[in-house]
Amino acid sequence: MLKKSLFVLLLITNLFVFGQTRTLAEYEKELNTLSLDIVNNDSDESKFKANQEFKDLLLKTIETEGSFEYEFKGIQAISILKSNETIKIYNWTLPRKDLTYEFFAFIQVKLGKGKYKVTELFDKSPLLEKPEYKTLSNKNWYGALYHKIIFDKKLGKNTYTLLGWNGGTNLTNQKVIEVMTVSNSGTIRFGSSILKVGKKAQKRVVFHYSESAVMSLKYNPTVKAIVFDFLAPPNSNLNGVFEYYGPTLDRFDSFQIDSGKWLFIPNYDAKLNRNLKDDIWNDPKK
């Protein structure tokens, strides 16, 4: 009788646990609601609360079996990038009332069959001086909202180039070319001296321009080139005053792969449709 009672209790418990199991689609639906709260809520306090709930739930979701293959197309306010069937980036931003932004991300690295490592990134961009020349970790990441991930074996088997947007200040915007390397154990590093501008090598490139301007930063896979607007102020008296910088409309520059590096090539001859936007959120402030 006792054995029978224990069996019934165990069966009921298992049925209850099974009934509580949530699918990735159910997680996705709740994550979408929270992601929109982060963007649309009225107060910073309510945004921070929604962001913490979103981050906790997203981490739980990523750790669920099958998440690496799942596309999560139903989460509206997030950028999800995947490359080489090895790397997946979950990336979003929190817009504050003072028109500044904080960036968040998880990176999911596939280490082997059914084995993954998840790393959280912590945005320290407002505190970093001369970020173009710094090697950074996940703990002091130069935060951005990425819209493109580029992988090319000529740059290294564990090297990924990221194109993204950073809100800068309330008067400026930024676009970023970032280089990310991933070790065999899944450790993330940002900044690699493969961006060559003249004789100088940089860890990353940060473009500064007016909050009211729109800058194009795209990857052309046909010629394997990163192509972008040339930025300048309206007159020479404003050199270095980035809140006045914007595209000149008649010039593009580029980075192209040469001898294992991204080589800066000015005056790129590109016939681009200027109405085309970046893959995701060309101007997040709108």
pLDDT, tens only, 234-265: 999 999 999 999 999 889 999 999 999 999 99
Going by C-beta distance under 8 Å and a sequence separation of 6 or more, which residues neighbour residue 116?
68, 108, 109, 110
Is the pLDDT at 140 greater than 60? The verdict is yes
| Per-residue confidence (pLDDT) for residue 198, from 0 to 100 | 87
Q: Read off the pLDDT of each residue in 42-47 and give the average, rounded to a whole number.
A: 97
pLDDT band at 11 (very low <50, low <70, confident <90, very high): very low
Question: Which H/E stretch holds residue 52?
Answer: helix 44-62
More confident residue, 16 or 166: 166
Residue 92 contacts residue 78 (beta carbons within 8 Å): yes
More confident residue, 18 or 255: 255
Residue 79 has phi, psi (to 5 degrees) of -105, 125
pLDDT band at 12 (very low <50, low <70, confident <90, very high): very low
State the CB neighbour count (10 A cutoff) for residue 45.
9
Q: Read off the pLDDT of each residue in 43-60 and give the average, rounded to a whole number.
A: 98
> Strands 188-190, 205-210: parallel, antiparallel or unpaired by DSSP?
unpaired
| Per-residue confidence (pLDDT) for residue 271, from 0 to 100 | 63
3-state secondary structure 168-198: CCCCEEEEEEEEEEECCCCCEEECCCCEEEC
Burial of 13 (0-12, 13-18, 19+ CB in 10 A): exposed
pLDDT band at 42 (very low <50, low <70, confident <90, very high): very high
- The Cα–Cα gap between 206 and 192 comes to 14
Measured CA to CA in angstroms, residue 139 lies from 47, 61, 91, 142 at distances of 22, 22, 15, 10
Q: Read off the pLDDT of each residue in 118-144 and give the average, rounded to a whole number.
A: 97
Burial of 273 (0-12, 13-18, 19+ CB in 10 A): exposed
